Structure 1
Amino acid sequence: MINILLSGCNGNMGQVITRLSEDFSGLKIAAGSDINNKIKNSYPVFTSLNECDIKVDVIIDFSNPKAFNGLVEYAQERRIPLVMCTTGLSAEQISMLKNDVSKRIPVFFSANMSIGINLLIDLVKKAAKILEGQFDIEIIEKHHNLKIDAPSGTALAIADAINDTLNEKCEYTYDRHSKRKKRGKQEIGIHAVRGGTIVGDHSVIFAGKDEIIEINHTATSKEIFAVGALKASLFLANKKPGLYSMDDLIAESN
C-alpha cells in the first residue's frame, strides 16, 4: 500500500484527488496538509508540513507556488518522492526541481497531468517538424476566470516542445496590440483567454497558404488531472532519485 501525503488537500483539486483515491487500489491518502483545516477528511490534516508525523511513501502537491520552498525542503529531508502538480511555478523553481531536487529524491513533474495533453504535445511536435518553414504557429489556451497565471504552464510546455523540435528556434509573442508590424516568420504566438468555468482548453494552430491544421484538447472535468496525479504517485513510489514525467509513466504502461 502506497501512503500519500496530499499537500493542498482542502483545495479544489485536493478534494477531487481525495474522492477519487477511494477508487484506486494500492494507495491511500494517509495525511494532508493545508492552511485551511475547516474541511473534515478521513485522514488527519496538518496546517504545517513540519507537524506531520505520519510515515508516507509519496507526496502529491496541488497547493501554491508560495509553499514550494518549504515543501521541497520537507521532502528532501525525509527522502520522500514528490509528485509536483502545482501550477504557476517560477522559472527558478522549475530549474530547482529539475537540476537540484531531482538529484536527491524522485520528482515527477509535468506541466499538465492529463495523458491527453501529453499526447497532444507528441502530435504537435511531429506536425511542427513536418511543416517547419511553411506554416505559422499559434497557441490559444482557455481557462476559468479564477486562474491567476497566464499563459498557462501547459501552453508554455507546448511551445517549448515545438521549439525544441524546430531547426530554427522561434521567439514567443504574447501580445500583438502594441506591435505595429506584420507577424514574423520565426514566431510562436501564445494567447490566454480567461472566463467562466472553463476547465482547460488548448489549441495549436498551424496556418499555411490556403490551409489550416488545428490540434486541440479540451478538459471537461478536473478529474483527469487528479487521475494523472494518482497514477503518477503509484509510478513514482520506490523509484530512484531523478526527474520523471508523463512520458515515463506512459512508456512504463505500454
Structure 2
Amino acid sequence: MTVRLAVTGATGRMGRELIAEAADRDDVSVVLAVNRDPDVEAVDGVAVEDAADFGDLLAAREAEAVVDFTGPESSVAYVEAAADAGVPAVVGTTGFDDGQLDALREASEAVPVLKAANFARGVQALLDVVGDAVANLPGYDVELVETHHNAKRDAPSGTAKSILREVEDARGVGDDRRVHGREGEAPREDGDIGVHALRAGDVTGEHEVLVAGNHEEVRLTHRAESRGVFAAGAVDAAAWLSQQESGWYDFGDVLEGPQ
C-alpha cells in the first residue's frame, strides 16, 4: 500500500527534505505540495501549488496524510483544513503558544494529529533515558545546551523543552527552576536547571544534557547531522498515522507500534 502524502511549506528546508525522502520510498508518494508563496514551480519533480487552495486540493488529490513543518500560525491553519477534509496530520512545527496548541488538540477530535518536536529516533532514545539518569543522581547539577542553525526562530528548541520536562518530572519540580543563560552576578542555586540556546551557521541540531556532581559528570548528547533524519521519521509517522483513529499522538507512539 502506498500512502498519499500532502507536504506543506514545500519550498522550505524541511519541505524539500520530505519530498526527497518520499521519492526514495515505495510505501509513500507525495500527491500534493503547497507553499504560501509558490514562487518555485516544482521540487524534485513535484509541482508546488498555492496554499490558498489547500483544502480543496486535499480532497481532489485524495491525500491520506499531511506533513507540516512550517510556522505556528500557518501550521494551525493547515491542520484545521486537514481536519475539515478528514485527513490525518503530522506536525513537526515548534514554537506554538497555548491557544495554538489548543487548536491542534481540537482538530485531533476529528482526525488523528501527531505532534512531535523531533522525529529522530535517537532523540526518542535520549528522552527515554534522561529522566532515569537524573533520578539516579539526586543532588547533581543539570545543564542543557542546544545548538541550531542561525535561522531557527524559537528558543529553547521544542526538543530542548521535551528534554527539560523529562528532567523536571524526574526531579519533581516545575519549569520555574529553569535558568536561561547567565549574566553578571548569577551564582548557581541548588536545584537550578540551566538552559542555553546557541544559534549559529547551518547546524542541524544538537542537544546535550550535563549532569555533574561528586567529582564526576555524565553527558547525554544527540547530534543530527542531516535534516534527512527528521524527514525519514516524519514520513514514517505519516504512514503510521494514516491507519490510526482520530486522537492526539506523538512520535513515541509510532516507535512503540508495529513497524
Give the alignment's TM-score, normalised by structure 1.
0.92
- Report the secondary structure of 2:194's partner residue: strand
Within 1, Cα distance between the matches of 2:251 and 2:55? 29
Query: In structure 1, what is the equivalent of residue 233 of structure 2?
Result: 228
Within 2, Cα distance between the matches of 1:128 and 1:12? 34
Alignment of 1:231-246 (within 5 A): 231-246=236-251
Query: In structure 1, what is the equivalent of residue 113 of structure 2?
Result: 107
Are the equivalent residues in 1 in contact too, given 2:207–2:221 (CA < 8 A)? yes
What is the aligned length? 251
Which amino acid is the alignment partner of residue 93 of structure 1? Q
Post-superposition Cα deviations, 1:175-227, rounded to whole Å, max 9, x if no partner, equal: 3215x342122221110111111111100000112111100011111100000
Alignment of 1:196-211 (within 5 A): 196-211=201-216
Unmatched runs of 5 consecutive residues or more in structure 2: none
Which amino acid is the alignment partner of residue 84 of structure 1? V
CA deviation after TM superposition for structure 1 residue 84, in Å: 0.3
Query: In structure 1, what is the equivalent of residue 33 of structure 2?
Result: 32
Are the equivalent residues in 1 in contact too, given 2:41–2:47 (CA < 8 A)? no
Query: In structure 2, what is the equivalent of residue 70 of structure 1?
Result: 77
**2:21 is equivalent to residue 14 of structure 1:** no
Unmatched runs of 5 consecutive residues or more in structure 1: none
Are the equivalent residues in 2 in contact too, given 1:9–1:62 (CA < 8 A)? no
Are the equivalent residues in 2 in contact too, given 1:169–1:186 (CA < 8 A)? no
- Report the secondary structure of 2:46's partner residue: coil
CA deviation after TM superposition for structure 1 residue 95, in Å: 3.7
Query: In structure 1, what is the equivalent of residue 178 of structure 2?
Result: 172
CA deviation after TM superposition for structure 1 residue 167, in Å: 2.8
Q: What is the alpha-carbon root mean square deviation over aligned residues?
A: 1.7
Post-superposition Cα deviations, 1:55-85, rounded to whole Å, max 9, x if no partner, equal: 1100000122221332122011111100001
Are the equivalent residues in 1 in contact too, given 2:148–2:202 (CA < 8 A)? yes
Within 2, Cα distance between the matches of 1:140 and 1:51? 43
Within 1, Cα distance between the matches of 2:103 and 2:77? 13
Which amino acid is the alignment partner of residue 63 of structure 2? V
Within 2, Cα distance between the matches of 1:190 and 1:205? 11
Within 2, Cα distance between the matches of 1:167 and 1:78? 42
CA deviation after TM superposition for structure 1 residue 50, in Å: 3.4
- Report the secondary structure of 1:125's partner residue: helix
- Report the secondary structure of 1:14's partner residue: helix
Q: In percent, how many aligned pairs have the same letter?
A: 29
Query: In structure 1, what is the equivalent of residue 124 of structure 2?
Result: 118
